[in-house]
Amino acid sequence: MTNEEIIATAVSDAIDALPEEIARHIDNVAVEIADEEPGHPEILGLYEGVPLPRRRGHGPVMPDRITIFSRPLERLYGHDPARLRERTMHVVRHEFAHHFGISDDRLREIGRY
């Protein structure tokens, strides 16, 4: 399996593995894989959108977007397929945490950064 295939499969598997009590609340989110964030080649993933807690009382919003960046993941973990898969899945979960309004600071506090 190539690194690209490992990343694509890990993204899909991470989404499929989300607990039902969490997955049923995911709303209006597109997940994509891109090479890297222009100007920020170190970023592994990016959440763009309005987190669910802030949507209350808002009208319709554009779809949120989670982007997983393959090149930095490959640079860091591409030498170890198992580690590449595990870290990709971690990044997906991390970005979905932002969809639920969980900040990086809070993820650090609970040991999930």
The pLDDT tens digits of the residues spanning 22-64 come to 899 887 899 999 999 999 999 999 999 988 877 776 667 678 9
CA angle, 87 then 104 then 8, to 5°? 30
Residue 14: count of CB within 10 angstroms of its CB:
22
pLDDT at 34: 98
pTM for the full model? 0.90
| Distance spanning both ends of the chain, measured CA to CA | 28
**3-55+62-109 topology per CATH:** Zincin-like (3.30.2010)
Q: What is the mean pLDDT of residues 65-94?
A: 97
| Helical packing angle, 70-77 and 3-16, nearest 10° | 110
